[in-house]
Amino acid sequence: MSKPLILVTNDDGITAPGLRALVRYMNEIGDVVVVAPDSPQSGKGHAITLDIALYSKRMKIDLENGANEEYSCSGTPADCVKMALQELLDRKPDICVSGINHGSNSSINVIYSGTMSAAIEAGIEGVPAIGFSLCDYSWNADFEPAGESIKKIVREALLNGIPPGVVLNVNIPKLEAKDFKGIKICRQARANWKEKFDKRTNPMGKDYYWLTGEFELLDKGEDTDEWALANGYISIVPTQFDLTAHHAIQNINNWNLNA
């Protein structure tokens, strides 16, 4: 039987160490094709490029441990997946894996994440997809402790399938492999960013701003991704891209809208 075709993408850019580690792990499972941004695209969410041309270039980053095929894309993470599925691949991938992100995408961070948006774009197109993130923002983060767990999750997803309309958001604590307590299926913790702008003035007298903030956990539940990560577990949150608040439909139906 032919090996599964695995599309690898990310938001940190095609040369990012997290993506290079993910390619090595996926090479043990299937035939790997990379389509990733040509520059960092963190925090882009599900943005797509409509007002300028997109460019793609075939590359070979790692001659020894690289993918079967690799392409850089001038667009966003979502653009990369669109281009892969519509233009660059000759068949539909069996799975799309995005990451490994340098930094957490747990809780509310999933909304802003280019890593997860790339996976969600694949899910929208009917491709099973997983986003992987390591809770370490360092460019030189050590991804090796997470390798066996990542391979296990991908193999299980290929074997059992991912429910239609669902994308998996996997976050991995910054620990040695021996210190992982296991893998937990979780819900997304309720949290927010307490944001502020650092206002400065340039030499020409013009004001400019840097967005800063503090993560504010509002959820004490022990079934959340934040709890799992804080207690040494790898968290998996099944994430859907149908944003309908089904529980609110009946309430809003009671409004006097058609009188």
Which residue ranges are tagged as binding site for a divalent metal cation?
11-12, 42, 101
| CA 30 vs CA 9, 70, 94, 249: distances in Å | 15, 15, 9, 43
Look up residue 73 and give its DSSP letter: E
Residue-by-residue DSSP string for 30-50: SEEEEEEESS--TT-TT----
For residue 113, which of 210, 9, 197 has the smallest C-alpha distance?
9
| Strand, coil or helix: 248 | helix
Distances 141 to 21, 27, 45 between C-alpha atoms, Å: 11, 21, 22
Number of residues in the chain: 259
Which residues does the annotation place in the binding site? Answer: 11-12, 42, 101
CB 7 within 8 A of CB 86: no
